[in-house]
Amino acid sequence: MPIKQAVFIDPSYPDFLKDGLFADSDPALNRDNQLLPFVRLKQHLEARGIPVHTADRLRDGSVVAETNHYWSIGLTDYAALRGRADVRLRGFIILEPSLVAPRLYAALPQLTRDFERVYLHNTVGDGYSLRDVDRRRLAKIHVPQPYDDVVEAAWNRTDRQNKLVVIAGVHNPRRRKPEFYSKRIEAVGRLHLLQAIDLYGRGWDRWWTRQAATPAYWRHLRTIRANYRGSVASKTDTLSQYRFSLCFENMPMLGYVTEKIFDCFYAGTVPVYLGAQDISDLIPPDAYVDMRDFGSDNYEAMWNHIRSMSDAEWQRRRAAGRDFVRSSAGRQYYDSPLNIIANDFTD
């Protein structure tokens, strides 16, 4: 008996093809449980008799239904599917900001012609151009998050250092602006002099790479190398060792809120946030410290503020982050793929 309907998703990177997008048992692909939103989506739909696979299974013909609902989370290899009577190009989801994926934003005019809906961080053109874009097909995306509660073992940890931690990889903005990569490096350099921060992440030990070829990196190379503590196996575990985290997004962009601040909430670490200009409309202001309160670059004033923060205030901010994750507003991120794909594909 032929399959009536199936859902196919092109992931953000080829590594997640061959159904790797749902490989929650693979520690390399499912780092920090980033795949759980898609695993939940697959379980939800398949419980209703609707198969869910990555889109290479549709392209190679190994799984085909009478109606094939196609979604992409960044890959653009859909030309062969365009015009097929058995395929609906349901949605294109852009999780990266325009700084990281400029070609996707440049392709918006074509994407809004080909797809029934295009999801992105904001629909008003902040950070990208709306020229020739069918605005009627744009919709807001919340970046999918793995949990709807804190990670209790991490959140309850009490032996924490009263300093900042930052977990980030080395990135080169390649002269694209506005960007916060350089600001993150500057913050590490300045805060290191105050013995206020530890740096973790990938690539900081390979100072000769193209990714490291930025003025900010070379300007702060000595302090970066002195401050670097290595890569991490678990962001949650590392964050739980600190009271505060430097939480800078890759760029300022309306609606652009990533896993960085959620990772802090899960671990019970208070984030010092810089990113989405409308962050206070998205997440309660008492759940984080807003770097803009210190002029966005007065790191000394920020450090003096948080290091003298009372335990009562620190606990209140942690609790506010936990309460947000558990709230209906927080569940918009937890339920993101379900809200978009599971609720929309049968229209």
| Structure token digits, residue 115 | 């797809």
Q: Which residues have C-beta within 8 Å of that of residue 110, sequence separation ≥ 6?
A: none
The structure tokens listed for 122 are: 């904001």
Rounded Cα distance, 53 and 64, in Å: 10
pTM of the model: 0.94
Tell me the per-residue pLDDT of 328-337, one tens digit each, with 9 for 90 and over. Answer: 999 999 999 9
pLDDT, tens only, 121-168: 999 999 999 999 999 999 999 999 999 999 999 999 999 999 999 999
How far from the centroid of its chain's Cα atoms is residue 90's Cα? Answer: 22
Is residue 273 a contact partner of residue 251, using CB atoms and an 8 Å limit? no
pLDDT of 1 reads 59
- Report the mean per-residue pLDDT for the chain: 94
Residues 267-289: pLDDT tens digits? 999 999 999 999 999 999 999 99
- The Cα-based distances of 47 to 42, 43, 88, 180 in angstroms read 8, 6, 22, 42
